[in-house]
Structure 1
């Protein structure tokens, strides 16, 4: 049955306020969780509208970022399917599908019949996920976890679709081809070309980045589902190598390291997206927390739990010691300077990745931790500062002149930074990001899974 969602979407497209959600109950009287925006009807409508209106972009293009300047201000820019971000929009649809299946009282869709919502969501999710199956055969990227897991893990777990599990296993074996036993790591990048580096020789260079830790979940998942110990061992070895070469003694992180595969010696440690080589890029730190707590959940190795705790402590300490407004919405880099009273760009994607990781860390510590409170504070302040669908809010473009109604933005969140490094060939900040929205929805579902919502 085709779902009539025109009234649901047209209210959003005309900039009208949708019916307000009923006040959310306090999920835990001791914690005081009260974040109705996580489950709002308007958030659902934004994802749904993009899925319906952009279906013609398939199979080759996927939502990536929403610029705050230029001719398409507030509208999604689409990237080629090969972009590392392409898995997140289908993943967002599957997060909504999961709500319709497991938590229907938290999927706000007005008066539309829940059964029709489920059927239409499943159809949309699979339409957006199917083209990504071709990406599972790639051996030229380490980002297969980001490309494959958000959609296909959910499809397998919610529907039992064997094709989805097969896609995950195929992708894992593709990723495993990038493992080098001399370095005991999976190669992240085949090259690094910017205004400072021109590295293309794979015989003498082996590039590893902190982001790679989140792609190890693909190897663990496929390894445990198929009984393949080799995939598990590769992921575990990689985690040890990253810990040794990218995590600093104070549990801050480099972004990238280059290892000579011929002698396993470090050639350099630097940042490609953060402020300086010695600084701490906030999203990289967040990737590290998430990657190591995921690794601990699979291995139960205490060294990985301690690494996740150390990385988390560094992250939340830097937030808590910040003196600017909304300190829990991270700056793009913790060490980027304020210039003439102007704060450096924020990165809501860093905050949402970290918030998800902190929930997992709180769960691993069996609820005896401060990390739930920190995660909630990140999300509260992000909603307050950066929720784009609040019709009453405005955001100014970087030149300070053009007021943009936040309700006109395609993405749920604003104030994200892709890359602001001085040597980057393309700098981009103050955007919406498809993966910030994905982790926003994922955070809400994690709260539901943990019975906090």
Structure 2
């Protein structure tokens, strides 16, 4: 049974046990449709084992403990809203969740440390520079580093599925490198930086096809470092274009350039961006199908989470290149996602966006609200507003 804290934190930093009036105030996040979802985000009850992950078909929130890879996105979304609005109510509410994420710093059985810890505790640390949060981040980076094999040059992704692979590395893993880069800056320990660079270099060399699309899963020989197989776990097939995977790569290599200023990573991010932006099957509103080779296009399910990731990454990429095409494309995405077509409507649940596709091969989390779509959407809004350029 989880530990439950009723209500939300008020702006003065005190937990009032249910300040619904404060939660129902109007906050300007993006537009009226998006802003209308904010009370639902704020009034969700704090519970140690009930991090909101997605919306079930019956409208009930799917809740997960901190071991789930998505646990960091809801508190992280609250922190993004703090950045957008400047109102501490969002930061206060996020901080109530952080103690229940902290134990993941010791979880060596997952590569998702960045998603879980950095998107929540890492984002909170950027605001407060709290020493305790710093210690959690450093331990999380140490734990993640234990999954690195120098022969392979990459961090191992999964421990399950040994009947399918031996040393799987998935494109998603690029997103967890931010934790290592930050840990290196905080601690001065270059080993974290070196692991992240090695992983990025090998992913750039091995995960990408000639057209700059990527595979989802590579299976390495842990003794020789050779790639033994190319697979997928969430795409249509091994050679298809799983949309969220393309987003993980775009975001990941853009982020790697931020920390390294290595032109190879910047150029690779630009190649990925060009591939995404020139997809012949891309819908006019720039919200991709879950897989760009999906058989039922144009009636295939969309994936709003992919669009959110694209937008956030493209805004950052724009800051390094001043390429107007990135800004324009990301603006088109944000405009689309803010439309009523994609905003969750009339459901009491802690989500903003609808119509994401989680795991199509397993028929799980299809055409629904998912926490990471909101996180990257809000981060994209934060980044767009920081540009101070009119849309």
**TM-score, with normalisation over the residues of structure 2?**
0.89
In the alignment, what sits opposite 1:400?
Answer: none
Between stretches 162-171 and 286-295, larger displacement belongs to 162-171
Any unmatched runs of 5+ in structure 2? 1-13
Matched, 1:36 2:36: no
Over the aligned positions, Cα root-mean-square deviation in angstroms equals 2.3
Matched, 1:149 2:118: yes
In the alignment, what sits opposite 1:275?
Answer: 236
Question: How far 1:307 moved relative to its partner?
Answer: 0.9
In the alignment, what sits opposite 2:370?
Answer: 433
Question: How far 1:4 moved relative to its partner?
Answer: 7.3
Aligned pair in 2 of structure 1 residues 228, 37: CA closer, same or farther (>3 Å)?
farther
Matched, 1:186 2:155: yes
In the alignment, what sits opposite 1:82?
Answer: 67
Question: SS where residue 84 of structure 1 aligns?
Answer: coil
**Contact map agreement 2:281 2:292 (CA 8 A) in 1:** no
Aligned pair in 2 of structure 1 residues 20, 287: CA closer, same or farther (>3 Å)?
closer
Question: How far 1:37 moved relative to its partner?
Answer: 4.9
Question: How far 1:385 moved relative to its partner?
Answer: 5.6
Superposed CA deviations along residues 41-88 of structure 1, whole A, max 9, x for unmatched, are: 3232221022xxx22xx2122110112x2xxx2231101220100000
Question: How far 1:123 moved relative to its partner?
Answer: 3.1
In the alignment, what sits opposite 1:394?
Answer: none
**TM-score, with normalisation over the residues of structure 1?**
0.78
Question: How far 1:173 moved relative to its partner?
Answer: 0.7
Superposed CA deviations along residues 96-134 of structure 1, whole A, max 9, x for unmatched, are: 223343xxxxxxxxxxxxxxx52x434321111111110
Aligned pair in 2 of structure 1 residues 250, 429: CA closer, same or farther (>3 Å)?
same
**Contact map agreement 1:144 1:175 (CA 8 A) in 2:** yes
In the alignment, what sits opposite 1:331?
Answer: 289
In the alignment, what sits opposite 1:244?
Answer: 205
C-alpha distance in 1 between matches for 2:126 and 2:296: 46
Question: How far 1:368 moved relative to its partner?
Answer: 3.1
C-alpha distance in 2 between matches for 1:186 and 1:19: 44
C-alpha distance in 2 between matches for 1:331 and 1:148: 29
C-alpha distance in 1 between matches for 2:179 and 2:27: 38
Taking the TM superposition and a 5 Å limit, the aligned residue runs for 1:2-401 are: 2=16, 5-7=19-21, 36-37=31-32, 40-50=34-44, 54-55=45-46, 58-67=47-56, 69=57, 73-101=58-86, 118=88, 120-192=89-161, 198-199=163-164, 205-318=166-279, 321-322=280-281, 324=283, 326-338=284-296, 343-365=299-321, 367-384=322-339, 386-389=341-344
**Contact map agreement 1:257 1:266 (CA 8 A) in 2:** yes
Superposed CA deviations along residues 382-434 of structure 1, whole A, max 9, x for unmatched, are: 22264334xxxxxxxxxxxxxxxx2215221111001112xx4x533111000
**Contact map agreement 2:54 2:365 (CA 8 A) in 1:** no
Aligned pair in 2 of structure 1 residues 296, 336: CA closer, same or farther (>3 Å)?
same
Superposed CA deviations along residues 274-296 of structure 1, whole A, max 9, x for unmatched, are: 11111010000000000000001
**Contact map agreement 1:142 1:187 (CA 8 A) in 2:** yes
C-alpha distance in 2 between matches for 1:20 and 1:137: 37
**Contact map agreement 1:358 1:375 (CA 8 A) in 2:** yes
C-alpha distance in 2 between matches for 1:284 and 1:185: 17
C-alpha distance in 2 between matches for 1:264 and 1:157: 36
Question: How far 1:449 moved relative to its partner?
Answer: 2.5
**Contact map agreement 1:44 1:96 (CA 8 A) in 2:** no
- Number of paired residues? 375
C-alpha distance in 2 between matches for 1:363 and 1:37: 28
Between stretches 374-383 and 275-284, larger displacement belongs to 374-383
Question: How far 1:178 moved relative to its partner?
Answer: 0.6
Any unmatched runs of 5+ in structure 1? 11-17, 25-34, 102-116, 390-405
Question: How far 1:265 moved relative to its partner?
Answer: 1.9
**Contact map agreement 2:157 2:169 (CA 8 A) in 1:** yes
C-alpha distance in 2 between matches for 1:408 and 1:256: 36
Question: SS where residue 432 of structure 1 aligns?
Answer: coil
C-alpha distance in 2 between matches for 1:354 and 1:217: 17
In the alignment, what sits opposite 1:112?
Answer: none
Superposed CA deviations along residues 122-153 of structure 1, whole A, max 9, x for unmatched, are: 43211111111100111111100000112222
Question: SS where residue 384 of structure 2 aligns?
Answer: helix
Question: How far 1:188 moved relative to its partner?
Answer: 0.9
Question: Of the two, which has the highest radius of gyration?
Answer: 1
Question: How far 1:323 moved relative to its partner?
Answer: 7.0
C-alpha distance in 2 between matches for 1:323 and 1:199: 32
